[in-house]
Amino acid sequence: MIDQRRLPAAFEVVTLHKWSEVVEAIRNMTVRGAPAIGAAAAFGLALAANESGAHDTTAFLADLEFAAAALKATRPTAVNLAWAVDRVVNALGKDLAMKHSLEVDDLRQVVLDESQRIADEDVATNKRMAEYGSNLIHDGDTILHHCNTGALAVVDWGTALGVIRTAHEQGKHINVLVDETRPRLQGSRLTAWELGQYGIPYEIIADNAAGYFLRTGQVQEVLFGADRIAANGDVANKIGTYMLALAANDNKVPVYSVAPTSSIDLSVADGSLIPIEERDPEEVLGLQFHGERVSPEGARARNPAFDVTPNRLISAIITENGIVMPPFDVNIKKIK
């Protein structure tokens, strides 16, 4: 996989041989983006199946359950991670129930096949989302985009950035305002890099400049992804999304969350029940300006990685099964 920590300074591909390496890659954000870490975790289970020295089904399943628990614990907010791991484990259960007796090598193949299926489906899912979402983008629009939701964040194509890419390939003349997305700067590092690869015009803005561009009528749509969507349509996404949606609503600019149905968690009634990951304060404190540390030595910081945008601030949720409009608590169930 591409080492996203190195972009845009260097394009490096890393190869992971052990499931424990996948755990670390997800935790340290070598790979990031809800769909991408879901697929990575699934292949992590395939590595765990390959590494298991078990010769009987019971011991093999115990090895996989241990790896599955470790993979699911790496990032708590994005539901795609647990969804993908559980899907692989459930595929094993179905095969065992149907055939009653399977050799361990057969089970290894089931895990690998299901992991590949998740990856392949993700590409098709993203392209369907992009087709639906591109209908909301018009020629000449300027789109404000938060975090990174492109091919780097998925298996291929992208969610919100996939919509932008498709609109561009349809011949629409668009411009993208790219939020830096502090503290890890996924916007200015990753989204800007991707847009450059596609030849889509863009300009990087500081996160706190978004309100200025919205108030002065220079933005036609706000687009972002989702790490988890509650049953009522509340959206957990990269920190700063909530403030962006507030400013957009105050200026009557539509706000679109683009996410696969695998990011919808009907078991969570509303956004207040979504666990919010708090990451290492050093991600905030370690920022440098002109090669020097910004914060004083000994300073403390808080670093929530996500926030929750209430459904009242969301204009529509774009999925591979169509565009969901309010009331979300009713309409989400129709496409999930």
Token reading at 277: 């990951």
Task: Return the bridge partners of 317, or none.
Answer: 257, 324
Q: How far apart are CA 222 and CA 210, in angstroms?
A: 10
307 included as an active-site residue: no
> Rounded to whole angstroms, what are the CA distances from 313 to 72, 245, 308, 328?
30, 6, 11, 11
Q: Are 131 and 169 in contact (CB under 8 A)?
A: no
Q: Are 19 and 71 in contact (CB under 8 A)?
A: yes
Closest CA to 111 of 169, 52, 158, 181: 52
Q: 95, 179, 227, 234: which one is catalytic?
A: 227
CA dihedral defined by 303, 286, 149, 254, rounded to 10 degrees?
Answer: 60
The CB density around residue 276, as the number of other CB atoms within 10 Å, is 16
Q: Which residues are catalytic?
A: 227
